[in-house]
Amino acid sequence: MASSALAHAVEANFDGLVGPTHNYAGLAFGNVASAKNADQPSNPRLAALQGIAKMRALAELGLAQGVLAPHERPHVPTLRRLGFSGSDAQILQAARRRAPQLLAIASSASAMWTANAATVSPSADCEDGRVHFTPANLCMNLHRVIEAATTSRLLRAVFADARCFVHHAPLPSTPALGDEGAANHTRLCSDYGDAGLELFVYGRGNADETAPARFPARQTRLASEAVARLHGLRDAHTCFTRQQAAAVDQGVFHNDVIAVGNREVLLHHEQAFADAQALRAWICTHLHGERRPVFVEVPEAEVSLADAVASYLFNSQLICTADGTMRLIVAQESREHAGVWRTIQRIIADEGNPIAAVDVFDLRQSMRNGGGPACLRLRVVLNPAEQAAVNPLCWIDAAQAERLSQWVSRHYRDRLSLDDLADPKLLDESRTALDALTGLLGLGSVYDFQR
Pick the catalytic residue from 237, 375, 386, 394: 375
Active site annotation includes 375: yes
**Strand-pair category, 197-202 with 238-242:** parallel
pTM, rounded to two decimals: 0.95
3-class DSSP state of 11: strand
**CA–CA separation, 324 vs 247, rounded Å?**
32
**CA–CA separation, 189 vs 264, rounded Å?**
5
Which ranges of 241-377 does DSSP label H, i.e. alpha helix?
245-248, 276-286, 305-311, 332-336, 338-349, 364-367
**CA–CA separation, 75 vs 106, rounded Å?**
5
**CA–CA separation, 155 vs 117, rounded Å?**
9
From the annotation, which residues make up the binding site for substrate? Answer: 25-34, 116, 143-144, 218, 256, 369
pLDDT of residue 237: 97
φ, ψ dihedrals at 318, nearest 5°: -115, 110
**CA–CA separation, 132 vs 229, rounded Å?**
11
3-class DSSP state of 17: coil
From the annotation, which residues make up the binding site? Answer: 25-34, 116, 143-144, 218, 256, 369
pLDDT of residue 14: 98
Q: Under a CB-based contact definition with an 8 Å cutoff, are residues 13 and 379 in contact?
A: yes
pLDDT of residue 40: 86
3-class DSSP state of 271: coil
Q: If you ran DSSP here, which 8-state letter would residue 161 be given? A: -
Which amino acid appears at position 129 of this protein?
Answer: G
pLDDT of residue 30: 55
Q: Under a CB-based contact definition with an 8 Å cutoff, are residues 106 and 79 in contact?
A: yes
pLDDT of residue 25: 82
Q: What value, to the nearest 5°, has the Cα angle with vertex 187 and ends 154 and 260?
A: 95
- The CATH homologous superfamily to which domain 8-73+108-450 belongs is Succinylarginine dihydrolase (3.75.10.20)
pLDDT of residue 274: 95
**CA–CA separation, 125 vs 449, rounded Å?**
37
Which ranges of 203-354 does DSSP label H, i.e. alpha helix?
221-230, 245-248, 276-286, 305-311, 332-336, 338-349
pLDDT of residue 210: 84
pLDDT of residue 206: 85
Closest CA to 380 of 187, 172, 101, 195: 187
- What string of pLDDT tens digits covers the 451 residues of the chain? 433 333 489 999 999 999 999 999 877 555 555 566 667 899 999 999 999 999 999 999 999 999 999 999 999 999 999 999 999 999 999 999 999 999 999 999 999 999 999 999 999 999 999 999 999 999 999 999 999 999 999 999 999 999 999 999 999 999 999 999 999 999 999 999 999 999 999 999 988 888 888 888 899 999 999 999 999 999 999 999 999 999 999 988 899 999 999 999 999 999 999 999 999 999 999 999 999 999 999 999 999 999 999 999 999 999 999 888 899 999 999 999 999 999 999 999 999 999 999 999 999 999 998 899 999 999 999 999 999 999 999 999 999 999 999 999 999 999 999 999 999 999 999 999 999 999 999 999 999 999 8
Pick the catalytic residue from 180, 264, 270, 333: 180
**Strand-pair category, 10-16 with 377-382:** antiparallel
Count CB neighbours of 129 within 10 A: 12
> CB-based burial of residue 204 (10 Å sphere; 0-12 exposed, 13-18 middle, 19+ buried)?
buried
pLDDT of residue 31: 58
pLDDT of residue 322: 85
Active site annotation includes 126: no
Pick the catalytic residue from 22, 254, 268, 337: 254
Quote the distance between the C-alpha of residue 186 and its chain's center.
12
Q: How many Cα atoms within 13 Å fall on the side-chain side of residue 370?
A: 24
**Any residues with CB less than 8 A from the CB of 100 and at least 6 apart, and which?**
418
